[in-house]
Amino acid sequence: MIRYTVVSTAYRLFAGMFLVVINWQIATAEGGGYWRLVVSTLLSYLPALAVPLVIRRITISGQRLSVLSLLYVAMISFVVSFLVEHPTALVVANLFMWIGFFSLEASWESWFNEEKRRQDVSWASSVTMSGNQAALMIGPLSAPAIIDVVGTRGIVQALSAGFVLVAALSWAGVGTTPVVADTDEEPEAGAPVKSGAPLRLIATFALIWPILGAFNLMLPLQVSDRGAGLVGVAVVDACLGIGVIVAGVLSARAKVSSATLSKLVIACSVLGGVLWALPTGGATVVAMALSTFALGAGFGGLRIALREYTATHYDSAVTGHAVALGNATAIPILAVVFLVFGAAQSLVWITPFLLVIVMSYSLQGMWTWKASLKI
């Protein structure tokens, strides 16, 4: 689990840096930002349609799949470095980059499940999630300073080398990690054996990327519209990660019931929405930062609870399948959201706060469903 935590955290560091740089380039390029960024975001989710078909036929371990996906991401990142001044080409190249990102999202979850027998699931989930979010916080904050030194092309090429390094670190011991099917484990008392991912689980995973996608869309647009630059984007984005880290620390130290967690998440989302809606002014960035901190705390609590739930009740194959199908389902959800708010672009910021509330109810429904099976 130590290797998994280190390499997944390093990957998040580089991926977070890559995304903030590329989204900023697309959003601020001459010729308009909203619809170009909408097209880029929707195209980036198209690979999720193919991932479920691929994942179901994969016979290698999650660790090995992570290594191969990291090498692919490194290659595409290097190509992207030569396209940073061409927004249309950058949108297309970003599509290919997300093939690797979605493959990694499924492989990280499978790898985590392969390691679960060796660790306390709740503790490991909190630690890895907190480490990942810390990296996602540090990456965007570091990007403006690095760009000042090496330029936009230079930072993307450095990230290519970083992905290769993570792949090399992930390779150690890859041959000794079996494909875990958990067929010998006894299911939890009263819980039926699942041959595939249940719809409730898929529906919950389907909300993760729409939340992040809506946030990544509205962040550069809203921050630039309110007069701040890439540093402001990095600060506000980092506060989302800080919120997730706080949720991870609290989750590792205190157990809360599903009902209590749902109420806390909804409270965080409402508070975050109110802060974001405050009138613009000198403290705009501060208000947005506090808002995303609240959003991150609620979203992080849900992600940790969902990871603990899947690791406890399902094997790695079912989890990977649910993640892949959830990612595919995210595309129509995002398309509807972006089209609806296309007529009222100034209100697109509402989306991630609303979707976190919906995800909270979805996860609460899964807990209730599982409890009813034991009666």
Instruction: Kindly provide the residue ranges of all beta strands, DSSP E only, lying in the chain, ordered along the sequence.
Output: none
Residue 364 or residue 162, greater confidence: 162
Q: How confident is the model at residue 229 (pLDDT cuts 50, 70, 90)?
A: confident
Q: Give me the chain's average pLDDT, please.
A: 79
Determine the Cα–Cα distance for residues 214 and 352; give it in Å rounded to an integer: 6
For range 288-307, the mean pLDDT? 88
For range 14-42, the mean pLDDT? 80
Give the list of residues 6+ apart from residue 240 with CB closer than 8 angstroms, or none: 133, 136, 137, 215, 292, 293, 295, 296, 299
In a 10 Å sphere around its CB, with 0-12 CB exposed, 13-18 middle and 19+ buried, how is residue 36 labelled? middle
For range 203-228, the mean pLDDT? 82
Measured from the Cβ of residue 242, the count of other Cβ atoms closer than 10 Å reads 19
For range 21-29, the mean pLDDT? 82
For range 61-85, the mean pLDDT? 89
Q: For 302-361, what is each residue's pLDDT tens digit?
A: 888 887 778 777 776 777 778 778 877 888 888 888 887 776 777 778 889 999 999 888
Position 188 scores a pLDDT of 47
For range 174-203, the mean pLDDT? 55
Q: For 247-269, what is each residue's pLDDT tens digit?
A: 877 776 767 666 777 888 899 99
Q: Is the pLDDT of residue 184 over 60?
A: no
Q: Is the pLDDT of residue 111 over 50?
A: yes
* Residues of the chain above pLDDT 90, percent: 15
Q: Is the pLDDT of residue 79 over 90?
A: yes
For range 70-95, the mean pLDDT? 90
Residue 281, CA atoms < 13 Å, CB-side half-sphere: 6
Phi, psi torsion values for 226, nearest 5 degrees: -95, 15
